[in-house]
Amino acid sequence: MSQQGKGQSRLERTFQSALAAHQSARLNEASELYEQILRLDRRHFPALLLLGAVKAQQADYAAAERLTRDALRVQPRDLRALLQHGNVLLAQQRYDDAFAAFGDAMAVNPSMPEVHVNRGAILMLRKQAAEALACFDAALRIAPRFAPALCNRGNALQELNRLDDALAAYDAAVREQAGNAEYLASRANCLHRLKRDDMALEDIDAALKAQPSNADFHYNRGNILAALKKPAEAFAAFDAAWRIAPDLPYAEGDRLYAKLAICDWSDLARELDHVAANVGQGRTAARPFAFLAMSGTSSLQAQCAKLFIAREFPNRPALWHGEAYDHARLRIAYLSADFRDHPVALLMAGVFERHDRANFEISAYSFGPAGASPMRRRLESAFDRFLDVRAKSDVEIAALLREHEIDVAVDLMGPTQLARPGILAHRPAPVQILYLGYAGSSGAPYIDYVLADRTVLPEAQRACYAETVLDLPHCFMATDSARTIAPETPSRADEGLPAEGFVFCAFSNSYKILPDVFAVWMDLLRERPDSVLWLASANAAATANLRAAAAAHGIAAERLVFARRVESNGLHLARHRLADLFLDTVPFGAHSTSCDALWAGLPVLTCMGEGFAGRVAASLLATLGVPELITASLADYRAQALALSGSRERLAAVRSKIVQARETSPLFDTARFTRDIEALYLAATGRAKVRD
């Protein structure tokens, strides 16, 4: 045999050894053998390609890219090399380059479904779901039963809010590969969005059985369990996700939010500090609404919202390009998922009805649950145009706003549950405003203004806000002076309250109750032995934990009374007559709940926090003219609660002051408030100056 033949034989044996090591996942050995080959022949195409694959497996993407490029210089049209090149670029998040590389592969073989799927996956990462859907459909025209294309098609359809079509795509993918955990988990997410959570739980459990260490699956299971109102189980699922992957976006915050919901305060101070530190360091550790209960610091709350929006709902191509509208009536659009029996609707219904129709045209864009409730019917008749846009994608809704030439788009939700910030990310209107539904900065560069007042947003905190602040002249919160209170007051026995004694009331959600304020409440019960604490109905775990916490403070568990569910808001307002003093929470205070109490004539005692979410009750009380119910520290809060609960005459005087102020204060003057908010809309569009 010639020397050349011997060399080739040795090269072939080395290559076979390298291949065997590679296939056995002995990557270091395979790498060394491939390099031996390349020292002998720098243009050995299989060694270049496979060493590039090894480097990619070892996450050395720079080396993988260099080797793959070298392989392409040897064989520029090799499909394997083109695909590997695209995948390496994708791993480096160089999406434009990867998209082009897969385009090169498609030019070589347009009938390869994987190439179309890869290009679609990049478009999904760019949040271009409609374009991605076209890629997945192209793959399916080539291979109608190609499961990756079917599942990815479902993902794109979900993003476009075509949930029934998405479910059909996932069903088809699961039929092709029944045990595929990713497909089951994707279908579970879709079922969750369709509110078929029992079925979603079955799918995610099956996915976890196949991949028990998948953090995303545990996290999604937590979301499903939270929707099923099983917060203790949701906490366990979020906890599992967070322990597997501590940096998984939102896992830490959702875990802690579920923990707060069940009033599990073990190691709480350390965990609150930890999530706040992560947010401060620029990590997406929590969702903005949940974070309001974890930190009262305005700058951190704004940072949390900014991180969330940048990741989930960044700026999209604008639909409005500076065109000047000259409508005889200013066109106002309210966007919400809460046009139903919801606190936002209860507060705003009267404003919608009282808008000056001679100068304003009012539209509702509803993307939440409907139902046939009296409130829904009232709202549908309150607008010039009421659009149910649940089935439309964000960009489709944005296009409607642009088509209707809306002057001012008012987001009534901010970054909260069921919200659709992606609509306004497309800049469909000249003026875009955040109002009412979220007590903080939206974090969105496309929101121009936030409506507030000087109490909820003092000057020192406004630097945290990306939005320009427009102040209502009195309280920022809308109210409805037409709200009815049931004439009949239930008996104390009906509500589980003792026949005699003082009733402290705190109807805030359980996640707002933190150990320091609870300790003050227990001090009050200790100092007033004839008193009870009347709390909102809570989940079973929260009820048990709060009663255990009371016992740890030396307070009998039965002195905590949990309110029953009632049929209507009117009945709920009526039972406030049985309470003596409403106790606010901090740093996340009562909002519509404190408004309920004051409308019913019940004094609300607040401890004013730093951030917007902790200052709402203070704004209500200041507007109503009872500043003596506003305190600035828990020590003062405790002292004032003791003073009021120790003097029936003093408390009666405060109650009388509130009842009288209801008739004269701007707080419950819906018509006046409507004129004030209209003035701000005019100011925002340059049609008038902001009122002093």
Residues 394-406 pLDDT 10s = 999 999 999 999 9
Q: Is the pLDDT of residue 255 over 50?
A: yes
Whole-number mean pLDDT of the chain? 95
Tens-digit pLDDT profile for residues 602-631: 999 999 999 999 999 999 999 999 999 999
Q: Which helix or strand (DSSP H or E) is residue 648 part of? A: helix 648-664
The DSSP code for 70 is H
pLDDT for 688: 53
Look at the chain and count its residues.
692
58-75 b/e with 16+ CB inside 10 Å = b?
eeebebbbebbebbbeee
476 pLDDT more than 50 = yes
CATH code 3.30.70.1560 for 330-471? no
Question: 503: helix, coil or strand?
Answer: strand
Q: Do the beta carbons of residue 350 and residue 480 sit within 8 Å?
A: yes
Q: How far apart are CA 398 and CA 635, in angstroms?
A: 49
644-659 pLDDT tens trace? 999 999 999 999 999 9
Between 371 and 53, residue with greater pLDDT: 53
- Report the C-alpha gap between 48 and 35 in whole angstroms: 9
Class in CATH terms, 503-668: alpha beta
Confidence (pLDDT) at 132 = 97
Query: What is residue 277's DSSP assignment?
Result: H
In the chain, where the domains are located:
330-471, 503-668
Q: Assess contact for 630 and 475: CB atoms under 8 A.
A: no
Residue 538 has pLDDT above 60, yes or no: yes
More confident residue, 244 or 7: 244
- The share of the chain scoring above pLDDT 90, in percent, equals 94
Which of 421, 155, 431 shows the shortest CA–CA distance to 310?
421
Determine contact, residues 91/99, Cβ cutoff 8 Å: no
Q: What percent of the chain has a predicted confidence (pLDDT) above 70?
A: 98
Tokens of 658: 């509130």
The answer to whether 86 and 118 have CB atoms below 8 angstroms apart is yes
Asked whether 534 and 505 are in contact (CB, 8 A), the reply is yes
Decide: 501 and 645 in contact? Cβ < 8 Å: no
Type of residue numbered 81: A
Q: Tell me phi and psi for residue 255, to 5 degrees.
A: -60, -50
- pLDDT confidence band for 2 (50 / 70 / 90): very low
What DSSP letter does each residue of 373-396 carry, written as one string?
-HHHHHHHHHSSEEEE-TTS-HHH
Cα separation, 265 vs 271, whole angstroms: 10
Q: CA of 477: how far to CAs of 15, 672, 675, in Å?
A: 74, 12, 14
- Kindly state the DSSP code that residue 172 receives in the 8-state scheme: H
Phi, then psi, of 433 in degrees rounded to 5 = -130, 140
pLDDT in tens, 34-86: 999 999 899 999 999 999 999 999 999 999 999 999 999 999 999 999 999 99
Same fold? 330-471, 503-668:
yes
pLDDT at 690 (0 to 100): 36
Using the 8-state DSSP alphabet, how is residue 337 labeled? S
pLDDT in tens, 489-506: 999 999 999 999 999 999
Q: What six digits make up the tokens of 221?
A: 């299971």
Which has the higher per-residue pLDDT, 19 or 183? 183
pTM for this prediction: 0.92
| 232-241: long-range contacts, CB 8 A cutoff, minimum separation 24 | 232/258, 232/262, 232/539, 232/540, 232/541, 234/258, 235/259, 235/261, 235/262, 235/264, 240/215, 241/215, 241/216
**Omega before 587 cis (within 30°)?**
yes
Q: Is the dihedral of CA 23, 29, 34, 37 positive or negative?
A: negative
